[in-house]
Amino acid sequence: MYPLLMDLEVTVEQAKQLLATTPAPLLLDVREPWEFNTAHIEGATLIPMNEIPGRAHQELDEEAPILVLCHHGARSLSVANWLRNQGFDKAQSISGGIDAWTRRIDPTVPLY
């Protein structure tokens, strides 16, 4: 069902395909609230990167696929790697972040 599970990173094009599946993976946005309020993908769940260690095991499903998103892909890669080390084996980072999403998938999402 999720052919990209082994990859720690997915492209924005792969993320778009995965988000269109049923059930869709959780889209986890790890940016700061001001960034999320500036630009976000509809349906994303905001948990800022610095809150992940305290909230992940309470709010995220270890069995569910998780796509992690940030601005350019560095924070999301770090969080996806951390999540995998915590037993969230289906966590993946969206390479290029919301910046790449805007440029290649949805130009209505603001750049910042």
DSSP string, 33-75: HHHHHHS--TTPEE--GGGHHHHHHHHS-TTS-EEEE-SSSHH
Active site residue 70: yes
The Cα 110–Cα 88 span in angstroms is 30
DSSP state of 25: P
- Active-site pick, 12, 70, 80, 94: 70
- The CA-based diameter of the chain, rounded to the nearest angstrom, is 35
Q: Are strands 26-29 and 9-10 parallel, antiparallel or unpaired?
A: unpaired
Catalytic residue positions? Answer: 70
